[in-house]
Amino acid sequence: MLDKARQLIQKYACGKRVAAAVSGGEDSMALLSLLCEYAEAGKLALCVLNVDHGIRKNSASDSEFVRRFCRGRGVEFIGIEADIPNLCKKSGRGIECEAHFFRREFFEKTISEGKVDIVVTAHHAKDNAETVLMHLFRGAGLKGLSGMKVFDGRIFRPFITTPKAEISEYVKARNIEYVVDETNADVTYDRNYIRNEVLPLIEARFPSYENAVARAAAFAADADGSISSQLDGSAFSESDGAVFLDENRLSAPYIFEALSRMGKTSDVYFSTVDRIIGLKNSRQCARADIGDGIVAAREYGKIAFYRGLDKSAAEETPFESPCSDSRITTAFGTAEIKRAYGCGFDKTGQTLVFDADKLPCGCVWRTRREGDRFAPYGCGEKKLKEYLIDKKVPLRKRDGLMLLCCGKEVFIVCGMQISDRIKVTEDSVNVFSVSLCT
């Protein structure tokens, strides 16, 4: 029983530190029980990851069920609580999508912190068929139609070639206890609709659909790999964490490859591809939010893919009028302020000299906002946006600029220029310089 899964565990998990993702449901409890056999035989080191999503009334008791099982088998339990409904309000994503992102981030963090080598999930053959069909209905490309991998270097799915019925037989034969998630019957969720409404009809006509979908997914994966290997590498470039694609190469395969280089290999649908292709005929610096914090923007003959500014960077840091050398650290950068002598302006913009006495009370360090205005050194006032466009500052860099402002007026654009209103003259007394720390 579970012979295919056992073979995969021998190949990918034995000898490693393994974290099992366990919700308490039938599939994950089958996985945990199976892995316990290997852990107790000394073939792998095992711990359990559990997420209380905060979606259902019974979610906390389900997590406690898993905790008790782990205590009884001597397995380390690592649990985390989330408020998925509240996170959905902030992100605009659906419940399923937000929960998926939260779990994935939790798993990746556990691996990155060096606690485990791999995370093992209980996705099985029917789950894979559901995923392929859901991607098909949403308009995914070959990557989406490839389904879930057995092992991607970090996430391992030993049940992915195992039928759901075989897992249920194992649970029954071993008398394994599990909990039932009542939301599994809620067909307002896309996956549940496919599972409960669509697949029973397909199975009645095509009993071997799981294997058929798996074969089709494998063909899609092979085709995707073949196409990717033939892409022109000169169409891509990378710098400062961003990936650039020549806008004359805007087609689905090139877009998928660019997003893959940014770490986004799933949930890319036709609507996303269409939005990115549409950037070519948009104004300079037009942008499109791709999801997972990734933004695509038109940038002087290229499409730049980059991660948008973290929301925490919207915070303000009060400015204290300097009286000596100091360093200011904010959520979006660090600047060094030093006493300066003489007057003038560093034309390179790396070190900016200013008259501290000319700054009004209430100044703060922050990032740019709609409506900001700036009077560049030696020039009249204009919108900050217009100044940055004139300087050809890429959109991906604008939101991360460290600014000293009072209300909507910008006095310092760190690393670039000061306002004409705080320029140093022969009468200036409190003269300071400010430069970004790299």
Query: Is the pLDDT at 345 greater than 60, yes or no?
Result: no
- Residue in 101, 152, 154, 157 with CA at minimum distance from that of residue 125: 157
Query: Is the pLDDT at 28 greater than 50, yes or no?
Result: yes
Instruction: Tally Cβ neighbours within 10 Å of residue 373.
Output: 17
The domains of the chain are located at 3-225, 233-307, 312-436
Which amino acid is residue 289, in one-letter code? D
Q: Once rounded to an integer, what is the mean pLDDT over residues 344-356?
A: 71
Q: What is the pLDDT of residue 141?
A: 87
Q: What is the pLDDT of residue 310?
A: 57
Query: Is the pLDDT at 278 greater than 90, yes or no?
Result: yes
CATH level 2 (architecture), domain 233-307: 2-Layer Sandwich (3.30)
Write down the mean pLDDT value for the chain. Answer: 89
Task: Assign domain 3-225 one CATH number from 3.40.50.620, 3.30.365.10, 3.40.50.1820, 1.10.40.50.
Answer: 3.40.50.620
Q: What is the pLDDT of residue 347?
A: 46
- pTM for the predicted model, two decimal places: 0.71
Percent of the chain scored above 90 by pLDDT?
61
Query: Is the pLDDT at 349 greater than 70, yes or no?
Result: no
Q: What is the pLDDT of residue 176?
A: 96
Q: What is the pLDDT of residue 182?
A: 77
- Residue in 399, 396, 426, 284 with CA at minimum distance from that of residue 332: 399
Query: Is the pLDDT at 17 greater than 90, yes or no?
Result: yes
- Residue in 72, 73, 53 with CA at minimum distance from that of residue 63: 53
Torsions phi, psi of 38, nearest 5? -70, -40
Sign of CA dihedral 248, 252, 255, 261: negative
Q: What is the pLDDT of residue 314?
A: 59
Distances (CA, A) of 336 to 230, 324, 328, 422, 429: 48, 11, 6, 18, 19
Query: Is the pLDDT at 344 greater than 70, yes or no?
Result: no
Q: What is the pLDDT of residue 417?
A: 93
Query: Is the pLDDT at 82 greater than 70, yes or no?
Result: yes
pLDDT bracket for residue 299 (50, 70, 90): confident
Q: Using one digit for the tens of pLDDT, what is the confidence trace for 215-249?
A: 999 999 999 999 999 999 999 999 888 999 999 99
Residue 176 to residue 363: CA distance in whole angstroms: 63
Query: Is the pLDDT at 391 greater than 80, yes or no?
Result: yes
